[in-house]
Amino acid sequence: MFSRRFIVAGIVLAAALALLPFSFHAERSLETATRVEGSQAETVRDELMDRFRSPFVDQVVLIVEGLPPATSDEGAQALGTIVAAVKDQTGVSGVVSYLDLRDPVFLGRGGGTYILIGLASADVPVESLVPGLHQLATSLAGQLKGRYPAVKLELTGEIPLNFDIRKASADDVQRGESLVIPATLALLLVAFGSLIAALIPLAVGQLAIATTLAITGFLAHRWHLSILVQNLATMLGLGLGIDYGLLMVSRFREAISTGLSASEASVIAARQAGRTLLISASTVGIGFLALLTVPISEIRSIGIAGFLVAGLSVLLTNTIVPAVLALLGPRIDLGRLPFAPKLDAHRAERTGVRWRRWGKVIVAHPWLALVLAGAPLLLLALQARHLDTSVPRGDWLPQTAESVQGLHALERMDRGGIVESLRIIVELPKDSIAQTDEGWSAVDGLTKRLASDPRSDRVISITTIAESNRSALPELSRETRRTLLSSDGRAALIQVLPKGSVSLRDQVDWVRELRKTGAPALTGVPGATLLVGGIPALNADYETIVRDRFPFVMSLVVGGTFLALVCGFRSIVVAIKAIALNLFSVAASFGALVLVFQDGHGSRFFGVPGGTGSIFPLVPIVTFAIVFGLSMDYEVFLVARVLEARRSGLSELEAIPEGMARTAGLITSAAAIMIVVFAAFTFGGFLVVKMIGFTLAVAVLIDATVVRIIIGPALLRLAGDWNWWPGGLGRSKGLIQS
């Protein structure tokens, strides 16, 4: 039996080490673009690619400043040099500038101009073409600088912005790890007083992260996986891996302090703590599996990464760690700090005295404990009613990125709408837009109607390019016709540039307004259809899907967790109480998120002065799934020990303080590590990750202190023997212990 454990541990370790080299390249396969499957925004993109065969499905904007005006001969010559070089660049599928259309939309305030560049790549993601364009822009600026010292070329647009977000995400991961690892090592040294004992949980966390990244790197070749995998895998890998390793090592040291041999102590640790970890990991995994039902690439990616992290953390802890502990034996205390006395049975007993006393206070006054601890949390939880999941206001992009600076340059030129434009595809049931006056008039009328909207800065369509004259259509370039008119002539693309004063939130409302009005009312043609795409439409689709799927995800998480707890503890009351407390913790953490980030109370400490006004739609649904599983860990730790005490013959009044004495120190250490890990990611430059890290840190703090040390024990006391109905107190080989 013991040799079989070593064989299994060796196989798992060999597999993890074999995957390790692949983790360093996983980032290259992850995407920053958001994909909302089945959405109108995604349909518009597919239509432009397949039906229009547009060279500008994926496009970037090259801002040109510091040259003579493009309307002058000298300026046109300099601009022509840039355009010619861009056309020769690998991956460029189309180029359009003022030289092609002579349209004032290309002329910005202050004399600047811009070039629209279409990108296409069959072999690699279009994002990988951005570095080459950066190099070209730098080279061209160098060539022109001798004659025009103020020349400046900058790239922006959705793809360069995504590219820079990828870099910001990678930087956040490195920064987070550099902060977390020393801090968690210090906390583990305080918890164990031994360097060897402290390094084992840290190694589990690092190995869980590496194997998760390697596997997601392989999966990304088949599915669209988001760059957020990096952040979440690191955040959760350190948190869960270290927590699980901490529990296993703690249980081993407790067993070996009673005089058991190394092999016996490792078997007890694997059997008792291992079962607790399986329940804990299952509740975490359920939350992440529920996220796979949301058809958004970012959310599904987090679900995959989280499920892998939880599964791999518990696998590594239940296989490799017991084998290592059996080999170490008493040497687990090697590297013992001077202030840390060697662990023995008597000291192990003394460590729980204070917590036992505290437990007795709680069971003596359960109603008072509930009121004093629950009232402040209830007030905090009530703030969650004001949660706004629309697009946050303000400039939350990484300010040092060239693409962000380029976007600001476009905004100064009063041409920022080119990046955030609405892409509208209108299709007529019978009339050909290119061949009939009725079809042409319908598109021309819709174009003019959109142009008259006060939110519109400029509208570009086949009719504006041809100056409302259908007879001028043959004179337009093939590239222009492919961009604005489908190959069958029945569908047209209308691009609407919103004014700079129109916020992203107003743009989203505009998209919904157009979709609700519908093509027949907008064009006057019965049977006409209309699809709205672009960044504002993607945001609208994202918000709608998250709002619609959130209740279903909640139901899956709560239902799955309930079944896992009933199977684990064979008690309905314990399961219901645990779920109610988790919902309370989640609501309180959402309330804190609203107060700090949305309303701005203290948000300046997180680099967001004045608050954001709303919360990214991604944050509530993801943090709910994560928090619900994570906070269940501490409930499982505590209830398992109380159940163990009851089965040993103690009464409920005695078992609750005993369970607290055995687990409160462990929960405090584990929670402190989790809080440090999550809080470290609030100092990065990625606002989504800031919000997630903050919410998780607050949830763990609330759950491990007020909820599990006061409210949870008080409810156990009030329920009495009903806690274990119908079969929790029955003895069996399946006893769950921690």
Contact 619, 691 (CB under 8 A): yes
Q: What is the dihedral of CA 374, 376, 382, 388, to 10 degrees?
A: -130
pLDDT at 131: 86
- The Cβ-side half-sphere exposure at 310, using a 13 Å CA radius, reads 24
Give the mean model confidence (pLDDT) for residues 681-704. 83
What is the DSSP annotation of 637-697?
HHHHHHHHHHHTT--HHHHHHHHHHHHHHHHHHHHHHHHHHHHHGGGSS-HHHHHHHHHHH
Q: Can you give the pTM of this predicted structure?
A: 0.80
Taking the CA atoms of 378, 379, 380 and 386 in sequence, report the sign of the dihedral they define: positive
Between residues 643 and 43, which one has the greater pLDDT?
43
The mean-pLDDT minimum among 3-7, 47-51, 456-460, 552-556 falls in: 3-7
Alpha carbons 614 and 435: distance in angstroms, whole number: 48
* pLDDT band at residue 2 under the 50/70/90 scheme: low
Q: Is 54 helix (H, G, I), strand (E, B) or coil?
A: coil
What is the layout of strands, in order, in the sheet containing 113-119? Answer: 92-96, 113-119, 58-65, 152-156
pLDDT at 289 exceeding the cut of 80: yes
What is the pLDDT, as a whole number, of residue 278? 81
User: In this prediction, what percent of the chain has a pLDDT beyond 70?
Assistant: 92
What does the pLDDT average to over 401-421? 84
Q: Residue 352 — pLDDT band, cuts 50, 70, 90?
A: low
Q: What is the 3-state secondary structure (H, E, C) of 687-712?
A: HHHHHHHHHHHHHHHHHHHHHHHHHH
Q: Is 110 helix (H, G, I), strand (E, B) or coil?
A: coil
The confidence score (pLDDT) of residue 229 equals 79
Q: Which two tokens stand for residue 76?
A: 């046109």
Interval 569-601: pLDDT, tens: 777 888 888 888 888 888 999 999 999 998 888
CA distance 581 to 367: 16
Q: Which residue has the higher pLDDT, 644 or 13?
A: 13
Instruction: Give pLDDT, residue 62.
Output: 92
Least confident residue range of 111-125, 207-221, 393-407: 393-407
pLDDT tens figures, 136-189? 999 998 999 888 898 899 898 888 887 777 677 667 667 777 777 888 888 888
Quick check: 13 pLDDT over 70?
A: yes
pLDDT given at position 424: 92
Amino acid residing at 121: S
Task: Name the least confident of 216-220, 438-442, 639-643, 698-702.
Answer: 639-643
Radius of gyration over alpha carbons of the chain, in Å?
Answer: 30
Closest to 460 in 3D by CA, of 116, 115, 105: 105
Give the pLDDT score at 736: 41
Rounded CA separation 237/353 (Å):
32
Looking at residue 510, its pLDDT comes to: 92
Q: Is the model's pLDDT at 98 over the cut of 60?
A: yes
Indicate the SS3 state at residue 309: helix
Q: What pLDDT sits at residue 342? A: 55
* pLDDT at residue 345 in the model: 45
**Mean pLDDT: which of 334-343, 355-364, 395-404, 420-429 is highest?**
420-429
Cα–Cα distances (Å) from 394 to 160, 633, 687, 689, in that order, read 20, 37, 11, 16
The 10 Å Cβ neighbour count of residue 504 is 16
pLDDT digit string, tens, across residues 496-523 = 999 877 887 888 899 999 999 998 998 8
* pLDDT, tens digit, 9 for 90 and up, residues 719-736: 777 777 776 566 443 334
CB count within 10 Å of CB 167 equals 16
Bin 432: left if φ > 0, else alpha if -120 < ψ < 50, else beta.
beta
* pLDDT band (50, 70, 90) for residue 237: confident
Q: Helix, strand or coil for residue 103?
A: coil
- Name the pairing type of β-strands 422-427 and 456-460: unpaired
Rounded to 10 degrees, the C-alpha dihedral 470/471/474/478 comes to -20
Dihedral sign (CA 399, 401, 407, 411): positive
DSSP E strands in 456-573: the ranges are 456-460, 491-498, 529-533
Q: How far apart are the first and last CA of the chain?
A: 22
Choose between 232 and 554: higher pLDDT. 554
Q: What is residue 733's predicted lDDT score, i.e. its pLDDT? A: 37
Cα–Cα separations (whole angstroms), residue 515 to 33, 269, 457, 496: 24, 60, 20, 14
Which residues, listed in sequence order, are joined to residue 726 by a DSSP beta bridge? 571
Give yes or no for residue 341 having a pLDDT over 60.
Answer: no
Q: What average pLDDT is seen over the chain?
A: 82
Query: CB count, 10 Å around CB of 717?
Result: 23
Residue 222's pLDDT band (cuts 50, 70, 90): confident
* Whole-Å CA distances, 586 to 378, 429, 639, 713: 11, 50, 20, 19
Tokens of 180: 């977390």
Among 157-166, 311-320, 456-465, where is mean pLDDT lowest? 157-166
Distance CA 591, CA 582 (A): 14
Q: CA-CA distance, 212 to 208, in Å (whole number)?
A: 6
Confidence of residue 84 (pLDDT cuts 50, 70, 90): very high
For residue 116, give the H/E element and its range.
strand 113-119
- Tokens standing for residue 197: 């004992």
Determine the pLDDT at residue 513.
93
Q: Which domains does the chain have, with CATH numbers?
A: 2-29+162-387+540-724 (1.20.1640.10), 57-156 (3.30.70.100), 421-533 (3.30.70)
| pLDDT, greater one: 530 or 37 | 530
pLDDT number for residue 729: 65
Q: Provide the sign of the torsion angle of the four alpha carbons 536, 542, 548, 551, taken in this order.
A: negative
pLDDT at residue 737, as a whole number: 41
Question: What's the CA gap between 721 and 446, in Å, rounded?
Answer: 71
In which order are the strands placed within the sheet that holds 491-498?
456-460, 491-498, 422-427, 529-533
Please state, in angstroms and rounded to a whole number, the distance separating the CA atoms of residues 213 and 20: 9
Question: Which string of DSSP letters, residue by residue, matches 483-513?
Answer: HHB-TTSSEEEEEEEE-TTS-HHHHHHHHHH
pLDDT for the residue numbered 395: 62
Q: What is the pLDDT of residue 170?
A: 67
**Cβ atoms of 48 and 54 closer than 8 Å:** yes
Q: What is the average pLDDT across 19-45?
A: 79
